[in-house]
């Protein structure tokens, strides 16, 4: 039985070294990336029994992704393998000075985007599972991936698993209207929503203080908890991080203070937060979840690549300095 089951696409990230622009690059650093895999990576690193469901091409790139997942303790026994399609890529220019980081996707026709419903035994995978986690990226990949996501969420509810959903809106995958239609339907089956003010504004047109936004989603969709992460970026290489969670019991938990960050690499920081939050939630309560989410994301900002390279002991030590307040 799994603590965490995730579903999503993984890609290879290609980054020019030393803050180079793509046009001047003669070499690339290669990292494995993907929102739900990033979260699975984090929860597995923290000791939770985690599996990641996806579809990969049986070639060196696909095997690289699976090997990296295994290396971090993620179970990949439910990955579907195919000889058709391709592994998606994305190129990342790391920003510096006044130049922001930029991402360029090359993922059309990926093996995951062609995943079909009724190809995964969700009942068997989710039997006894504590949490099923997916993001808004997965249903945006294709109509079939939307159907697979709906199928998995339905199976998770039938299995008694909590459903965790990160809105993760991507404008290059679908329009706000398409996202609202799909996500709005899914949210009626979600227990824990993780999102940002930007995404709730773009997709649902909701603008207010973060706690008020979270409270509105809890009330409207009967969620157990809604969580908003809050980023401030006064410069390309510096930022502040905080978060707030509202529960169905009417309690609000917020970061005690904004965390000052040096932004070595912010990509994957939201996925790291998800991992820390779910770990804290399963091993404690929402207050602990907020603390561990904040700490996990803060440490991720200090690490190149998409994953949070961290041990449970390091996270515990970091959390000691990050207190959470309860707002009544």
Active-site option among 3, 191, 199, 271: 271
Asked if 324 and 291 count as a contact pair (C-beta separation under 8 A), the reply is yes
The count of other CB atoms within 10 Å of the CB of residue 317 is 11
| pLDDT tens digits along 8-49 | 999 999 999 999 999 999 999 999 999 999 999 999 999 999
Q: Residue 323: pLDDT band by 50, 70, 90 thresholds?
A: low
Q: How far apart are CA 44 and CA 157, in angstroms?
A: 23
Residue tagged 């047109």 (tokens) = 205
Mean pLDDT of the chain, nearest integer: 93
Q: How far apart are CA 22 and CA 14, in angstroms?
A: 10
Please check the confidence at residue 266 and state whether its pLDDT lies above 90.
no
Q: What is the domain class of 4-327 according to CATH? A: alpha beta
The pTM assigned to this predicted structure is 0.94
What is the pLDDT at residue 35? Answer: 97
| pLDDT tens digits along 58-100 | 999 999 999 999 999 999 999 999 999 999 999 999 888 888 8
> What size, in residues, is the chain?
328
Better-scored residue on pLDDT, 259 or 140: 140
What is the pLDDT at residue 265? Answer: 80
Tokens of 25: 């690059």
Domain boundaries, the chain: 4-327
Q: How far apart are CA 93 and CA 240, in angstroms?
A: 21
Asked if 37 and 69 count as a contact pair (C-beta separation under 8 A), the reply is yes
Asked if 316 and 295 count as a contact pair (C-beta separation under 8 A), the reply is no
**Partner residues linked to 53 by β-bridges:** 7
Query: By three-state DSSP, how is residue 161 classified?
Result: coil
Please check the confidence at residue 148 and state whether its pLDDT lies above 90.
yes
Please check the confidence at residue 327 and state whether its pLDDT lies above 70.
no
Q: How far apart are CA 116 and CA 74, in angstroms?
A: 23
Residue tagged 């091993």 (tokens) = 283
| Residue 271 a catalytic site member | yes
């Amino acid at each position: 039985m799994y603590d965490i089951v995730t579903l999503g696409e993984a890609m290879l990230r290609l980054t020019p070294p030393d803050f180079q622009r793509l046009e001047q690059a003669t070499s690339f650093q290669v990292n494995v990336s993907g929102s739900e895999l990033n979260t699975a990576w984090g929860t597995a690193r923290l000791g939770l029994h985690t599996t990641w469901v996806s579809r990969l091409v049986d070639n060196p790139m696909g095997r690289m992704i699976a090997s990296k997942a295994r290396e971090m303790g993620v179970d990949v026994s439910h990955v579907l393998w195919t000889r058709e399609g391709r592994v998606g890529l994305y190129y990342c220019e790391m920003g510096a000075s006044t130049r922001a980081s930029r991402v360029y996707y090359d993922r059309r026709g990926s093996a995951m985007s062609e995943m079909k419903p009724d190809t995964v035994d969700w009942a068997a995978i989710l039997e006894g599972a504590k949490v099923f986690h997916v993001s808004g990226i997965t249903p945006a990949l294709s109509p079939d991936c939307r159907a697979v996501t709906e199928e998995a969420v339905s199976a998770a509810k039938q299995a008694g698993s909590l459903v965790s959903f990160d809105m993760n809106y991507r404008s290059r995958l679908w329009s706000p209207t398409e996202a609202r239609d799909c996500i709005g339907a899914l949210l009626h089956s979600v227990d824990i929503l993780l999102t940002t003010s930007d995404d709730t504004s773009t997709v649902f047109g909701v603008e207010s203080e973060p706690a008020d936004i979270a409270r509105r989603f809890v009330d409207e969709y009967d969620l157990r908890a809604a969580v908003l992460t809050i980023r401030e970026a006064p410069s390309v290489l510096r930022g502040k991080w905080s978060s707030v969670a509202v529960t169905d019991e009417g309690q609000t938990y917020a970061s005690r203070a904004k965390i000052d960050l040096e932004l070595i690499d912010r990509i994957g920081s939201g996925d790291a937060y998800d991992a820390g939050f779910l770990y804290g939630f399963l091993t404690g309560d929402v207050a602990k979840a907020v603390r561990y989410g904040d700490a996990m994301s803060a440490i991720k900002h200090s690490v190149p690549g998409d994953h949070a390279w961290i041990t449970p002991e390091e996270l515990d030590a970091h959390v000691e300095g990050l207190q959470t307040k309860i707002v009544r």
